Amino acid sequence: MGASYESGALVACKNVMVAFDAAGECLDATLRCITHAHVDHAARVNEPNTLMSLETYELLRAVGRLKQNAGILEFKKAMNIKSVRVTAINAGHILGSCQYAIECDGSALLFSGDVNVQDTLVTKAAESMNVDFMVLEATYGDPSFVFPDRETTYSKIVKWICECLKNGRIPAFKAYLIGKSQEIIKLVNEYLGIPVVVNDAVAKVCEVYKKFGLDLSYFCKSTAAGKEVLKTGECVYVSNHRADFPIGKRVMWAIATGWALRYRFGFYDAAFPLSSHADFRGLISHVEACMPRKVYTMHGYSKRLAKELERRGFLAMPLESVGRFVPFIYEEKRA
Ligand SMILES: [Zn+2]
């Protein structure tokens, strides 16, 4: 994507220009497909002709990022726009996250966005689709990123929470506003059954998750009930900011992120490798499930992942090395 490469990509299909997520310099985009509600993917949601899942729409509204209406695409229901057919399938990353399949002139391209190929307590594994081209995220695209089994990480978190409480400390998690916070809350609800207190921003997002059928139990710190629970000290606190712990109790802070595999989070009392992304093996297995003729990798370890895919017999290259547009129909014509 060269200099115009941002958090997204552009695909030209005959008379339709498709921009994914926050791809820039595309005033003539016929369509802007938003994969999910995380901030780095949602920088241009207030531009014209956006398309997103209903869940993403509600999440973006709840966090105050989306100020206008948007086109809503139901999962697995194809939409025809001029010469292009667009279908959304589950990406398994957060509520409403989708991968987009673009079909044009008999070729199909899948844009993965952020993807997770395993079930979690709050999301179902990403679906796969047989396509010709694939644009795949590479956040953890280095072979060194192999996450422990999710149940193992869940049990380590539960153990740590129990130890904190036994030592008279309140276990607190700094977690991403959308996705990780809800997974931690669900984990405590399911495995421990002790109360969870959250900050206001996390509560707003939880309301959207509940609206779409996820049963979450928590108290908001700004309510009288939330304050009462915090005073007892027998609870777990979840917030997207570390700085806002509401009372003067002794607290232990943890962070849950895939980067805990590689980096020491010295300012935290604990760090758990719990990620909403696929690890290296998951990314490879996703490509194997989709069997594309060519893969373009983006974000993070895009070069390394492309190399590893080539070693496994796939044609692959980092997206940033191919110019402004994802070669799709045009490439086939040139060939
Ligand atoms: Zn994301």
Query: Model-level pTM?
Result: 0.93
Q: Which fold has domain 2-145+277-334?
A: Metallo-beta-lactamase; Chain A (3.60.15)
**DSSP structure string for 109-165:** EEE--S---S--SS-PPPP----SEEEEE-TT-STT--PPPHHHHHHHHHHHHHHHH
Distance 36 CA to ligand 1 centre (A): 7
> Rounded to the nearest whole angstrom, what is the distance from the C-alpha of residue 91 to the centroid of ligand 1?
10
DSSP per residue, 25-57: S-TT-SEEE-----GGG-TTTTSSSEEE-HHHH
CATH match for 150-272 among 3.40.50.10890, 3.60.20.10, 3.40.640.10, 3.30.530.20: 3.40.50.10890
Ligand 1 geometric centre to CA of 334 (Å): 34
Distance 45 CA to ligand 1 centre (A): 15
pLDDT (tens place) for every residue of the chain, 335 residues total? 222 345 688 888 877 888 899 887 655 668 999 999 999 898 889 988 999 999 999 999 999 999 999 999 999 999 999 889 999 999 999 999 999 999 998 999 999 999 999 999 999 999 999 999 999 999 999 999 999 999 999 999 999 999 999 999 999 999 999 999 999 999 999 999 899 999 999 999 999 999 999 999 999 999 999 999 999 999 999 999 987 776 777 999 999 999 999 998 999 999 999 999 999 999 999 999 999 999 999 989 999 999 999 999 999 999 988 866 776 655 544 44
Dihedral sign, Cα of residue 190, residue 196, residue 65, residue 326: negative
In whole angstroms, give the CA distance from residue 145 to residue 128.
Answer: 21
DSSP reduced 3-state for 296: strand
Query: 172: closest CA among 250, 82, 94, 73?
Result: 250
Q: Beta strand pairing status for 107-111 and 98-104? A: antiparallel
Are 119 and 259 contacting, i.e. CB atoms less than 8 angstroms apart? no
Which tokens in the block code for residue 8? 């997204």
328 alpha carbon – ligand 1 mean position (Å): 24
Domain residue extents for the chain: 2-145+277-334, 150-272
